[in-house]
Amino acid sequence: MAKANLLKTETRSYLELIGNGKTYRVPAYQRDYSWGEEQWDDLWGDINDLITHPNDRHYMGALVVEGQSDREFLIIDGQQRIATLSLLALAVLWHLRDLAARGIETEANTERMHQLRARFIGEKDPANLSESSKLFLNATDDAFYQDYLVQLRAPLNPRGLPVSNRALWQCFSYFKARIADTKPFADSGEKLARLLNEAVARQLIFILITVEDDLNAYTVFETLNARGLELSATDLLKNYLFARVRGKQDQIVLGRRWQRLVTTVRQDRFPEFLRYHLLCEIPKIRQQRLFKLVRERVKSGEQVFALIDQLEARAELFAAAGDADHGYWKDRPEALPSVRELILFRVRQHIPVLFAGWQWPTEQFVKLLRLISVFSFRYIVVGGLNPNDLEPLYHQIAKSILAGVITRSSEVHAALRELLPSDDKFERDFAELSVETSGQSAKLTRYILCNLSNAAAGTNIDWNTDPGSIEHILPENPGAEWDASVPTDRQEQYAYRLGNLILLEKRLNRDAGNRRFEDKLGLYAQSAYPLTRALHEHAPHDWTIAAIEARQAQMAKKAKAIWKSDFSGSGG
C-alpha cells in the first residue's frame, strides 16, 4: 500500500533542522560544492543584519529532502546552503579554539567550542566514542570535508585541491576572515557563540519539504521550479540513474560517460535532449512526466547503460542541430543552409525525425533537412501555426523511419502533406506578412528579402553574412509629409509589411532617412541590390497602401516557387 503522505511541508529554523540527532547526506553523485564569494557575501550580510534585529527572521528558501528514517535524510535540493552554513559554524569553532589557545577565557571558550560542535557539526557516539557528523557531502567533497574541515585541519597545498574542495576551503577561510575583521566577534567568545547559536540557529528559516521517494522529489522540483532552487532536472535524473548502478567500478564508468554526455548536449538542455530521444518511440511526452517515464523504463544497471548507449549515439546530432558551426557539419556541408534556416526559425520539434534519419545516405539526409526547413517556413514562419502541434506527426514519421517503413525524404514529404499549407494558403498568408526589423528578428527579414532577390535577379546574396540594412520605404517614424500618402492611423501597421521593405547599403540607408518617397528614389537607383534598383525603375507615382500591397502580392507569387510545396521534382 502506498504511503498516505507523499510529501510534508514544514517551516523550520536551522537549529530545528539539525537538532535531535538528525543527519543529512548529499547523494554520492549530486553536484559538487560550487558557491562563491558573491553568495558568501550575501549570506554574511544577512546574518549581520539579524544580529542587530534579534526579532527578525531571514528566509533561506526551500530544503527538499528524502526521508530515509526519522533521523536520516538525503538532500535533494539545498545542499549548497546547508554546506555553507556548516562551514560558517566551523569557522566559529576555529576562532573559539584560537581564543582558548591565546588564553582568552580558556575554559569557557573550550566549553563553548565543544557544545557548539556537538550542536552544529557532530558529536561522539556514546556507544563507541567515534565522532559522528551531521552532514555528509557527495563523493567528490565528503572526504575533504570530514578529514580536514570537520577536524579544523588546513590542507598542505590548498591550490592543488580539486575545484570543489578548494571552494569549500575558500568558503571556510572567507568566514574566518570576516569573523577576524569584525571586532565584537574577534575578541569575544560569548558574542561569537551568540552569532552561531542565535542569529544562525534560530533566525534563519527554511521551508522543509520531505518527500517519500525520488519520483516525488522530481515532482516537487517541477512544481517549485523557482529561482533559488539549486538542483536541476538533470541532477535529479542523474541521481536516479546512478542509484540503479551497483559496484564502484561501474559507477566510475557511468560517471565518466555521463560527464561526456552532458558536456556534449549541455547540462541545462539534457531534459530536452532526453525528451526528443523518447519521442522517437512515445507519441506524447510532457516535460513533467519525463522522470516518471525514465523510472518506468530503467530499473537496472544494465538498462541504465543501454540508455546511455542510445543517448551517446544521438548526442552530437542534438548539439549540432542548434549550432551551424558544429564540427558535425564539416562532413555534410550541403546540409548547412537548411541547418542555419531551422536555427533561424527557432524550431526544434523535428529533432526526433533527424535522430531517426541521420543514418540515411548523406544525399537523402540533406533533402530531409531541406524539406523540414521549407515545411517549417510555410507552417510556422508564414502560417503562424503552433509548432508544438507537429510533435505527434513528427513522432509517427520518426517511428516509421526507425521501423524501415519510410526510407526516403519524398516519403516524409508525403507524410507531411496533411499539415503542409497549400500554395494558395501560403500565398495569401505571405501577402499579409508583417515582420520585425530589429534584433534577432531582423535576420529572418533579411533571409526572406535575400531569397526573393536571389530568385528574381539570379544573385547569390547570403542572408547570414550580407552587410546591407533593411530600409523601410514608408519610414518607421514618418514625418507629416507622409500623411497624404498613408493615413496616420495605418502608418505603423504598413511600415512593417514585407512589401514596404528593401535591402539597401548602410550609407544609402542613412542618407534616405525619413525623406519623401520621390526623394529616396535617386538613392535606390545607386544600390547594388537588383530588387532595390528595380523599385526605382518601376516606381509608382506615390508610395501608398495600394502600392505596398501590390508589391507584396508580387513577392507572394515568387515565394511559392522559392519555398516549394511540391517535392516530387527533387529526386527524393
Question: Which percentage of the chain shows pLDDT scores above 90?
Answer: 65
Per-residue pLDDT averaged across 32-50, rounded? 92
pLDDT tens, position by position, 397-440: 999 999 999 999 999 999 998 898 999 999 999 999 999 998 88
Q: CB under 8 Å to 288, separation ≥6 — which residues?
A: 219, 222
Q: What is the mean pLDDT of the chain?
A: 88
Write the pLDDT tens digit of every residue in 82-137.
999 999 999 999 999 999 999 999 999 999 999 999 999 997 655 544 567 999 99
Contacts by 36-45, CB closer than 8 A, 24 or more apart:
36/167, 37/170, 37/174, 39/80, 39/84, 40/84, 40/171, 40/174, 40/175, 43/84, 43/85, 43/88, 44/175, 44/178
- Segment holding 119, helix H or strand E: helix 106-120
CA neighbor of 238 nearest in space, from 219, 249, 254: 254
Q: What is the pLDDT of residue 538?
A: 77
Neighbours of 318 (CB within 10 A): 25
What is d(CA 316, CA 318) in angstroms, rounded to the nearest whole number? 5
- What's the distance, CA 45 to chain centroid? 30
Pick from 312, 232, 215, 198: which is nearest to 264 by CA?
312
Q: What is the mean pLDDT of residues 262-279?
A: 91
**35-72 burial code (b ≥16 CB/10 A, e <16):** beeeebeebbebbeebbeeeeeeeebbbbbbbeeeeee
Sheet containing 204-211: give its strands across.
Answer: 7-13, 204-211, 58-67, 72-77, 23-25, 135-136
Sorting pLDDT into bands at 50, 70 and 90, what band is 569?
very low
Q: Once rounded to an integer, what is the mean pLDDT over residues 361-386?
A: 94
pLDDT above 60: residue 223: no
What is the phi/psi pair of residue 31, to 5°?
Answer: -55, 145
Name the pLDDT band for 234 (thresholds 50, 70, 90).
confident
Beta carbons of 569 and 413 less than 8 angstroms apart: no
- In the block, cell 513528427 appears at 394
Mean pLDDT computed over 17-43 = 89
Give the model's pLDDT for residue 1.
33
Give the pLDDT confidence score for residue 142 in this predicted structure.
Answer: 94
Global pTM value: 0.70
- What's the pLDDT score for residue 230? 47
pLDDT, position 2: 40
Q: What is the mean pLDDT of residues 358-380?
A: 95
Residues 355-383: what's their mean pLDDT? 95
Least confident of 20-29, 212-221, 528-537: 212-221
Residues 325, 329, 333, 339, CA torsion sign: negative
What is the per-residue pLDDT for 129? Answer: 45
Q: Is 74 helix (H, G, I), strand (E, B) or coil?
A: strand
C-alpha distances in Å from residue 102, one per residue of 24, 97, 150, 176, 181: 34, 9, 21, 16, 17
Assess contact for 417 and 379: CB atoms under 8 A: no
Residues shown for the chain: 572
Take residue 416 and report the three cell numbers written for it.
507531411
Give one DSSP letter per residue of 172-227, joined into a string.
HHHHHHHHHHSHHHHS-HHHHHHIIIIIIHHHEEEEEEEESSHHHHHHHHHHH--T
For residue 355, what pLDDT is reported? 97
* Integer angstrom CA distances of residue 108 from 77, 93, 193: 37, 13, 11
Q: What letters, b where the CB count within 10 A reaches 16 and e where it falls short, cover 355-392?
A: bbbbebeeebbbbbbbbbbbbbbbbbbbbeeebeebbe
DSSP conformation letters of 473-491:
SS-SS--GGGTTTS-HHHH
Band of pLDDT at residue 62, cut at 50, 70 and 90: confident
- What average pLDDT does range 270-298 have in this prediction? 87
Residue ranges per structural domain of the chain? 7-224, 233-321, 323-421, 432-562
Percent of the chain with pLDDT over 70: 92
